[in-house]
Amino acid sequence: MGIDGQKPLLPLLLLVIATVAVFPASSRSPPSQPAATLPSFRRAPLFPGKRSHPIKVQQRQQYNYQTRYFLQDLDHFSFADLPKFRQRYLINTEHWIGPERRGPIFLYCGNEGDIEWFAVNTGFVWEIAPRFGAMILFPEHRYYGESMPYGSQEEAYKNATTLAYLTAEQAVADYAVLITDLKRNLSAENCPVVLFGGSYGGMLAAWMRLKYPHLTVGALASSAPILQFENIVPPDTFYNIVSNDFKACCS
């Protein structure tokens, strides 16, 4: 079972890494006030959204995006003469206030699957983008969906040699190259990039923020088990938590 398969059982683990600029303390509203006003920035606003408008909870979420493709290097860390592949990405610029007013770019780090599924299941990003005047970007993870090296899934998954480029490091490098190129195309070099991700995608968001701090101002890693690795967290910790939870409520 994959990381995502366990998600419903995982305690809600929300790791927020350097989201200083996105969610300042002043933006947290008391629970009695669901229709909060937008944050008032003490310093010059980094995200020039429609800050004076109250949050509108949308009943029916619309997911409008354009599908585009970007030619990626198969290996970002060598000079080997390898075939390039087409990486799919979804983009929405409906609410974007760019480039002079420096509207932010919300980049969701695609997980292990078809990116359209993640796009229509990440309502949070779509809900907040208008408030921040943000562009929404959903690049697809290599070796998933339509972003298949070697022309087809059959070829890409053939053997250890063809699968060697299916790594988190390469995936995060894809996102770094793509965002750099897109910003250049749109003369949006000065627009801040905020990363989002859930589960494995959240791990990618956190790692990308660490690895490419010059490209990103923050990352929100939701339900991301970034510490669930050998020699960091014992492998039975997750099961201990679930068992104790069960014991507490049912014994």
Mask for 53-72, x = binds ligand NAG (CB under 6 A): ---------------x-x--
Among 44, 57, 80, 160, which residue interacts with ligand NAG (rule: CB under 6 A)? 160
Structure token digits, residue 179: 């965002």
Nearer to ligand NAG, 100 or 181 (CB): 181
Query: Which range touches ligand NAG (CB under 6 A), out of 10-18, 117-125, 177-185, 210-218?
Result: 177-185
- Please identify which residue in 162, 168, 228, 242 interacts with ligand NAG, judged by CB under 6 A: 162
Burial class (CB in 10 A: 0-12, 13-18, 19+), 186: middle
178 binds ligand NAG (CB under 6 A): yes
Q: DSSP readout, 86-124?
A: EEEEEEE-TT---STT---EEEE---SS-HHHHHTT-HH
| Residue 101 is a binding residue for ligand NAG (CB under 6 A) | no
Of 156, 182, 191, 219, the one binding ligand NAG (CB under 6 A) is 182
User: How many of the other CB atoms lie within 10 Å of CB of 218?
Assistant: 21
Q: What CA–CA distance (Å, rounded) separates 159 from 157?
A: 6
Beta strands in 133-217 (DSSP E): 135-139, 193-198
Nearest to 140 by CA among 44, 230, 48, 72: 72
In the complex, least distance from residue 94 CB atom to ligand NAG, rounded to whole angstroms: 17
Q: How far apart are CA 142 and CA 85, in angstroms?
A: 9
Joined together, the tokens standing for residue 122 give 């990440």
Interface with ligand NAG (CB under 6 A), residue total 11
Part in contact with ligand NAG (CB under 6 A); list of ranges 49-57, 176-184, 200-208, 220-228 = 176-184
Q: How far is the CB of 215 from ligand NAG (least distance, A)?
A: 14
Longest alpha-carbon distance in the chain? 62
Judged by CB under 6 A, the stretch of 15-23, 76-84, 152-160, 165-173 that binds ligand NAG is 152-160
What is the 8-class DSSP label of residue 6?
A: G
Judged by CB, which is closer to ligand NAG: 90, or 226? 90
Tell me if 185 contacts ligand NAG by CB under 6 A: yes
Geometric angle at alpha carbon 236, from 230 and 242, rounded to 5° = 135
Nearest to 3 by CA among 223, 195, 171, 233: 223
**Is 159 near ligand NAG (CB under 6 A)?**
yes
Shortest separation between residue 145's beta carbon and ligand NAG, angstroms: 17
Binding site for ligand NAG (CB under 6 A): 68, 70, 158-162, 178, 181-182, 185
